[in-house]
């Protein structure tokens, strides 16, 4: 077991680092937790999305009551379950004024300590400790969280930056006037970058495109080896590799495991079982999300192929001809996902990209990089049909830069650029 003195040294070192070495921390939208909730707060999400920085920010906001420990620290490899007791003692010996006072404990990469749930639950319920844990492992994601924490955890996903957070990081004041004033050009320029490179915080701060590509390549490598191969003990590497390439290039489209099977069954050795299992791992790791067809029947919904979206546009596989329309659609999906978990695609005689249900109301969205003579009628008619079926009087077409309001068959259609929609919350 690690010694108390060693722990004290680490606690003080972390404190100094967070308070003095970490430079600017951009305030996150998801980083606000309800006060006084007697639950273990669990931050999960894809690697490099900013979970550790949310913990740093929580530390800074309450620096005289906080303890931060990172279980990736190699000095803590033999921490063990008994380590928690020693850790709390070390903390209180350093800050004796906290005895019988409220304390904030921030535990990073917690999945490295087996049995952490028991400690967190106990101190949350019996002692005056506000516990936050973070990690990238699917082990701490809501669907897998240990039964001993069920109902006692408050889970929160930390995703890469939204466009609003991106603007904040760039020092652009996100308020309505900036959209009409001289800052409009600036916001549009930033959106072009966001569309191509996505919202991973390190990407936003990278200086050159060369650095950005390099960082993203490194992320893809760690996602592949650490988040998929190691975590799920994958043995058919060529299959995973082919699937990842396929999934990350078919974003904003339907992905059918059967077509994948047909396409590759003679080229690669693999079983249908591993194909299904690996696909599930992508979903479990929250690297991709599925959107199902809008229908009343659950059976039909599951029978129809799902459309898939990536957790960040930066992960999209870049080929020679980049499909900006699909990236735009992916960004719209990510925003809708923040608003509701009921998102579908509409596909009858005509199509509409998204139907969402929020607070018992439907809304329909069509996404289109540019409305042109060639696609205008199709896009509008799809939206109109969708709105009629939903008995909604209003629908949206989200574009890169076009703006207009039209009326068709008594449906009011608002055509609006995605960047504007993202900053004005319509």
Which residues in this chain contact ligand ADP in the complex, by CB under 6 A? 24-26, 28, 47-53, 136, 201-202
Q: Which residue's CB is nearer to ligand ADP, number 228 or number 371?
A: 228
152 touches, from ligand ADP, Mg ion, none (C-beta below 5 to 8 Å by class): none
Q: Write down the least CB distance from residue 66 to Mg ion, Å.
A: 16
Residue count of the chain = 426
53 touches, from Mg ion, ligand ADP, none (C-beta below 5 to 8 Å by class): ligand ADP
50 touches, from ligand ADP, Mg ion, none (C-beta below 5 to 8 Å by class): ligand ADP
Q: Which residue's CB is nearer to ligand ADP, number 202 or number 284?
A: 202
48 touches, from Mg ion, ligand ADP, none (C-beta below 5 to 8 Å by class): ligand ADP
Stretch touching Mg ion by CB under 5 A, among 50-58, 191-199, 273-281, 391-399: 50-58
Output the residue with the shortest Cβ distance to Mg ion.
52
Q: Which residue's CB is nearer to ligand ADP, number 226 or number 272?
A: 226
Q: Which residue's CB is nearer to ligand ADP, number 136 or number 330?
A: 136
Stretch touching Mg ion by CB under 5 A, among 45-53, 113-121, 212-220, 262-270: 45-53
Binding mask 51-80 for Mg ion (x = CB under 5 A): -x----------------------------
Q: Write down the least CB distance from residue 112 to ligand ADP, Å.
A: 13
Q: Which helix (H) or strand (E) holds 210?
A: helix 209-222
Q: Provide the 8-state DSSP code for 171.
A: T
Q: Write down the least CB distance from residue 286 to Mg ion, Å.
A: 15
Q: Which residue's CB is nearer to Mg ion, number 202 or number 412?
A: 202
Q: List C-alpha distances in Å: 344 to 288, 314, 327, 367, 426.
A: 15, 23, 18, 14, 19
- How far apart CA 369 and CA 387 sit, in angstroms, is 21
Q: Closest by alpha carbon to 120, among 112, 111, 129?
A: 129
49 touches, from ligand ADP, Mg ion, none (C-beta below 5 to 8 Å by class): ligand ADP
Q: Write down the least CB distance from residue 221 to Mg ion, Å.
A: 17
Residue 258 CA neighbour count, 13 Å, CB half = 4
Sheet holding 351-358, edge to edge: 253-255, 306-310, 288-293, 343-347, 351-358, 361-367, 394-399, 411-417, 404-408
28 touches, from ligand ADP, Mg ion, none (C-beta below 5 to 8 Å by class): ligand ADP
- How far apart CA 256 and CA 244 sit, in angstroms, is 14
Q: Write down the least CB distance from residue 255 to ligand ADP, Å.
A: 26
25 touches, from Mg ion, ligand ADP, none (C-beta below 5 to 8 Å by class): ligand ADP
267 touches, from ligand ADP, Mg ion, none (C-beta below 5 to 8 Å by class): none
202 touches, from Mg ion, ligand ADP, none (C-beta below 5 to 8 Å by class): ligand ADP
Q: Which helix (H) or strand (E) holds 155?
A: strand 153-157
Q: Closest by alpha carbon to 295, among 286, 287, 304?
A: 304
Q: What's the distance, CA 81 to chain centroid?
A: 30
Is 356 within 8 Å of 340 (Cβ atoms)? Answer: yes
Residue 351 CA neighbour count, 13 Å, CB half = 9
Q: Write down the least CB distance from residue 76 to ligand ADP, Å.
A: 17
Q: Write down the least CB distance from residue 2 to ligand ADP, Å.
A: 22
Q: Closest by alpha carbon to 334, among 224, 206, 422, 395?
A: 422
Is 309 within 8 Å of 288 (Cβ atoms)? Answer: yes
Q: Write down the least CB distance from residue 185 to ligand ADP, Å.
A: 25
Is residue 112 part of the contact set for Mg ion (CB under 5 A)?
no
Q: Which residue's CB is nearer to ligand ADP, number 50 or number 83?
A: 50
- How far apart CA 186 and CA 166 sit, in angstroms, is 13
Which string of DSSP letters, residue by residue, matches 265-333?
Answer: TTTS---HHHHHHHHHHHHHTTSEEEEEE--S-HHHHHHSPEEEEES-GGGSPP-SS--HHHHHHHHHH
Please give the structure tokens belonging to residue 97: 């004024």
112 touches, from Mg ion, ligand ADP, none (C-beta below 5 to 8 Å by class): none
Q: Which residue's CB is nearer to ligand ADP, number 53 or number 278?
A: 53
Q: Which helix (H) or strand (E) holds 197?
A: helix 183-197
- Binding residues for Mg ion, per CB under 5 A? 52
């Amino acid at each position: 077991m690690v010694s108390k003195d060693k722990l004290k040294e680490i606690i003080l070192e972390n404190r100094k680092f967070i308070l003095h070495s970490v430079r600017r921390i951009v305030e996150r939208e998801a980083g606000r937790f309800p006060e006084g909730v007697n639950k273990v707060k669990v931050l999960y999400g894809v690697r490099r999305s900013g979970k550790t920085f949310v913990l740093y920010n929580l530390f800074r906001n309450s620096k005289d009551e906080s303890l931060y420990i990172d279980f990736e620290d190699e000095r803590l490899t033999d921490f063990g379950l008994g380590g928690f007791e020693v850790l709390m003692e070390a903390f209180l010996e350093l800050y004796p004024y906290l005895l019988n006072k409220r304390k904030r404990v921030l535990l990073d990469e917690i999945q490295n300590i087996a049995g952490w749930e028991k400690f967190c639950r106990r101190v949350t319920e019996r002692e005056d400790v506000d516990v936050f844990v973070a990690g990238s492992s699917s082990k701490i994601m809501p669907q897998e969280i240990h039964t001993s924490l069920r109902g006692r955890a408050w889970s929160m996903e930390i995703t890469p930056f939204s466009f609003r957070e991106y603007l904040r990081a760039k020092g652009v004041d996100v308020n309505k006037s900036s959209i009409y004033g001289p800052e409009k050009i600036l916001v549009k320029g930033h959106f072009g970058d966001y569309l191509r490179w996505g919202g991973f915080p390190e990407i936003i701060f990278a200086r050159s495109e060369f650095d950005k590509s390099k960082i993203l390549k490194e992320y893809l490598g760690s996602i592949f080896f650490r988040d998929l191969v190691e975590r799920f003990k994958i043995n058919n590497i060529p299959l995973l590799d082919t699937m990842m390439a396929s999934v990350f290039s078919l974003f904003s489209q339907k992905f059918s495991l059967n077509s994948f099977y047909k396409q590759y069954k003679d080229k690669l050795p693999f079983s249908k079982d591993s194909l299904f299992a690996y696909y599930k791992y992508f979903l479990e790791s929250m690297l991709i999300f599925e959107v199902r067809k809008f229908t009343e029947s659950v059976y039909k919904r599951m029978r129809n192929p799902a459309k898939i979206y990536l957790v960040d546009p930066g992960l999209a596989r870049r080929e020679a001809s980049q499909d900006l329309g699909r990236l735009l659609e992916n960004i719209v999906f990510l925003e809708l996902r923040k608003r509701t978990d009921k998102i579908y695609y509409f596909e009858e005689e005509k199509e509409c990209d998204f139907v969402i249900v929020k607070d018992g109301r439907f809304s329909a969205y069509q996404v289109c990089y540019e409305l042109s003579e060639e696609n205008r009628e199709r896009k509008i008619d799809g939206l109109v049909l969708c709105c009629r079926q939903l008995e909604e009087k209003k629908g949206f077409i989200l574009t890169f830069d076009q703006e207009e309001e039209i009326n068709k068959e008594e449906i009011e259609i608002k055509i609006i650029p995605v960047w504007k929609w993202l900053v004005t919350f319509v």
